[in-house]
């Protein structure tokens, strides 16, 4: 009998992760007798977990908060996105060596490709927030050819760190500058946690955004964030953040199970139902 391939999502906590629903759907759809397990590892044990992963019989897996930096440090080799972002969320084995990637960046791009493919013609963007997820967004924007990316953050020092890291196409700003910066942006991306469940605050004033801009939020709980609701009410094109979550999962599945899975409306509905069951 063929060996059963095992993969995982590892975090602390990890109960909230929707990744098992995504990979479980793809395993079933492709008739693969593999598994995708949820594993909670405390930070003190994470380097041991990474070192022993292959011996434990895993083909690879995903790392989520707070382990993406430890995964970065623990792999033998990394893709270009992971190197630039400084975090690894997907690992697999190649000839006994552990390889790490950051699939949040291509996940972000693939979601926009699905729902607003014209985003690639844009050159000016405003990125609201300067946390871990903002790094993945910056990588994707620069990779897509954006030449003027303005990072707006409550703490300007954190935005400046990103501008220093990503180079001259990225600039750093405090929140007071947002209105002016939004006026000619082709794309506006919220990466702040504002707008998450029960938090009705807007990360920016949508009246400053020009009519032809695309507005996207990487927060996906709720699916329609206050920013997206306000942007839609103004007649702007919007893209929600769930597709980023779905797309970031696909490269890992291909590495572990050998098939590039599809992000379909059926998968999206299934994950929405899964989120509603656990909310």
String of DSSP letters for 109-166? HHHHHHH-GGGGG--EEEEE--SHHHHHHHHHHHHTT-SEEEEE-SSHHHHHHHHHHH
Q: Smallest distance from the beta carbon of 177 to ligand NDP, in angstroms?
A: 14
**Nearer Cβ to ligand NDP (214/219):** 219
3-state class of 19 per DSSP? helix
Beta strands of the chain (E only): which ranges?
A: 6-11, 35-40, 58-63, 77-78, 90-94, 97-101, 124-128, 148-152, 170-173, 187-190, 214-217, 237-239
Q: Smallest distance from the beta carbon of 41 to ligand NDP, in angstroms?
A: 18
Structure tokens at 148: 């003027």
Number of residues that this document lists for the chain: 279
CA angle 145-159-215, nearest 5°? 55
**Phi/psi of residue 33, nearest 5 degrees:** -90, 55
What residue number has its CB nearest to ligand NDP? 131
Q: Smallest distance from the beta carbon of 140 to ligand NDP, in angstroms?
A: 12
- Distance CA(131)–CA(63), nearest Å, equals 17
The C-alpha torsion from 15 through 18 and 20 to 26, rounded to 10°, is 170
**Nearer Cβ to ligand NDP (5/87):** 87
Work out whether 103 is an interface residue with ligand NDP (CB under 6 A). no
**Nearer Cβ to ligand NDP (5/135):** 135
**Nearer Cβ to ligand NDP (138/144):** 138
Work out whether 220 is an interface residue with ligand NDP (CB under 6 A). yes
Q: By C-alpha distance, which of 208, 161, 172, 160 is closest to 188? A: 208
3-state class of 73 per DSSP? helix
Task: Using the rule CB under 6 A, give the single segment among 42-50, 74-82, 118-126, 132-140 that binds ligand NDP.
Answer: 132-140
Work out whether 248 is an interface residue with ligand NDP (CB under 6 A). yes
Active-site residue, from 23, 25, 67, 68:
68
Is 68 catalytic? The answer is: yes
Binding residue count for ligand NDP, defined by CB under 6 A? 23
Task: Using the rule CB under 6 A, give the single segment among 11-19, 40-48, 205-213, 217-225 that binds ligand NDP.
Answer: 217-225
Handedness of CA 215, 219, 221, 226 (dihedral sign): negative
Work out whether 245 is an interface residue with ligand NDP (CB under 6 A). yes
Work out whether 89 is an interface residue with ligand NDP (CB under 6 A). no
By CB under 6 A, the residues from 141 to 160 that bind ligand NDP are 153-155, 158
Work out whether 90 is an interface residue with ligand NDP (CB under 6 A). no
Q: Which residues bind ligand NDP (CB under 6 A)?
A: 104, 129-134, 153-155, 158, 191-194, 196, 218-220, 241, 244-245, 248
Active-site annotation, residues: 68
């Amino acid at each position: 009998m063929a060996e059963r391939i095992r993969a995982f999502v590892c975090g602390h906590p990890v109960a909230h992760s929707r990744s098992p629903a995504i990979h479980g759907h793809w395993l079933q759809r492709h008739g693969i007798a593999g598994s995708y397990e949820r594993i909670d590892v405390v930070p003190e044990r994470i380097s041991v977990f990474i070192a022993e992963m292959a011996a434990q019989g895993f083909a690879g897996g995903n790392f989520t908060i707070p382990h993406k930096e430890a995964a970065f440090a623990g792999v033998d080799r990394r893709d270009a996105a992971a190197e630039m972002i400084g975090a690894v969320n997907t690992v697999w084995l190649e000839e006994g060596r552990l390889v790490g990637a950051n699939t949040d960046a291509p996940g972000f791009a693939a979601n926009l490709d699905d729902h607003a493919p014209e985003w690639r013609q844009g050159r000016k963007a405003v990125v609201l927030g300067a946390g871990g997820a903002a790094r993945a967004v910056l990588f994707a924007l620069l990779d897509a050819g954006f030449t003027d990316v303005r990072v707006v953050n409550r703490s300007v020092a954190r935005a400046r760190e990103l501008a220093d890291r990503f180079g001259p196409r990225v600039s750093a700003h405090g929140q007071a500058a947002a209105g002016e910066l939004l006026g000619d942006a082709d794309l506006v991306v919220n990466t702040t946690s504002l707008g998450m469940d029960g938090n009705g605050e807007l990360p920016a004033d949508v009246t400053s955004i020009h009519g032809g801009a695309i507005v996207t939020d990487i927060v996906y709980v709720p699916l329609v964030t206050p920013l997206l609701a306000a942007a839609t009410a103004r007649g702007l094109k919007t893209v929600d953040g769930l597709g980023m979550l779905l797309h970031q999962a696909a490269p890992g599945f291909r590495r572990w199970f050998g098939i590039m899975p599809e992000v379909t409306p059926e998968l999206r509905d299934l994950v929405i139902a899964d989120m509603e069951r656990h909310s």
